[in-house]
Amino acid sequence: MYLTYDDIFDYLKSGRRNNKNRLQAYYEGKRIILTSKDELREFLYGNNDAYADTVSFGKVSERLADEIRMISDGVIDDLYGGYLEVEKGHAGHAIANHTEPKELDDLPLCEYELLLAFENTNDAKVLEVTKYITGERTVTLGISSEDGHVIMIETASKSRGSLLFRNGWKINNDKFARNYLRSNPNSAVSESLNSVRDGIAPYMDNVTKDVMDVNSEKCTRQESNLH
């Protein structure tokens, strides 16, 4: 899934506009691609000074590109082979604001789960595509986890031909159904959502403090095995 050093020059040339920041970072000796989970973990959670502000960790698969094209009614039709990107500020926001639950039915987003979400981006289900008055479009993806659900919000930029990670958080099945299934009459989307739900373990209706504490302890146990 990760890129290799052979991808560097193609990445430098990617997109529909010349990315001066990317080129400048490369000439300054900064890393502009991620080639392993260790590098992804370092970029997200460690000292990432050696990396450019925006890096790529993979490419958009044909399946994911086709699903985005379908859900967007053909508006976003050029993502196959485009780059999956993550930016320091967006990643920092997700980690700072969603490691612990913020709202009812949110769940703790553990380090190992965020890493898993990145690594399984191409296996994610497309939940919705949203267009803003600025012209920006976001693609919301759903990825199954052991006891709930991780959602990554990424920006599809036609000028860049890439998906840029914008945010990530975890919710339980109830909130997932409430926010994405029942409110969306699109049959294709509903089928997509149901296939995501099939991969999610049953979870209790409401998240109590005790459940949050249990999940936080689980995060600690799981993450201790990563290092």
pLDDT in tens, 202-226: 332 333 333 334 444 556 544 445 4
CA 47 to chain centre: 21
Residue 227 has pLDDT above 60, yes or no: no
**Whole-structure pTM value:** 0.81
Q: How far is the C-alpha of 90 from the C-alpha of 195, rounded, in Å? A: 28
Q: Which two tokens stand for residue 142?
A: 């759903």
pLDDT category of residue 184 using cuts at 50, 70 and 90: low
Give the pLDDT of residue 99: 85
Give the pLDDT of residue 210: 37
pLDDT, mean of residues 77-106 = 91
Give the pLDDT of residue 80: 94
Highest mean pLDDT among 123-127, 156-160, 207-211: 123-127
Sign of CA dihedral 71, 78, 34, 32: negative
Q: What is the mean pLDDT of the chain?
A: 79
pLDDT, mean of residues 156-175 = 81
Highest mean pLDDT among 7-21, 42-56, 98-112: 42-56
Cβ neighbours of 220 (radius 10 Å): 12
pLDDT category of residue 148 using cuts at 50, 70 and 90: low
